[in-house]
Amino acid sequence: MSTFEGKYGFVITATVLLVSSSRHPDRWIVPGGGMEPEEEPGVAAVREVCEEAGVKGTLGRLVGVFENQERKHRTYVYVLIVTEVLDDWEDSVNIGRKREWFKIEEAIKVLQCHKPVQASYFETLRQGYSANNGTPVVATTYSVSPQSSMSGIR
């Protein structure tokens, strides 16, 4: 019996989705927001990214939990494997929000000046990135604050 030994190589270019800020439309940010009362964390993350970025998909792994001690604020960052991109979505219709795909390195550069904490989400994602066959992903966030479960990030 003979065996065949093969070697395979491939390059994965991870792309991530950013949206325009509602406060500063010329700046890109990570889509996300706060939880509704009684809402499960994963459900909140999927809902927020659909509302803000107009994409649907499968919730992936937790990238990390980011604390802001000064604001007593905690942000959970998830990966969303995108399966559907909507032509029109809630924030595009209501506030003219835009979205754009970036390579992870480009997203880090874009966010570094005005949203360095959000840039760190992608640093963490890049360090722990596992192969997903080049499927576009979104880092979606939801935030929890001790004062209110409704607080968002921006």
Catalytically active residues, by annotation: 51
CA distance 113 to 37: 33
Size of the chain, expressed as the number of residues it contains: 154
Helices (DSSP H) in the chain: which residue ranges?
41-53, 90-95, 104-112, 116-127
- Residue 58, C-beta contacts closer than 8 angstroms, at least 6 positions apart: 80, 81, 83
Q: Report CA Rg, the chain.
A: 17
Q: Which of 151, 75, 145, 56 is nearest to 117 (CA)?
A: 75
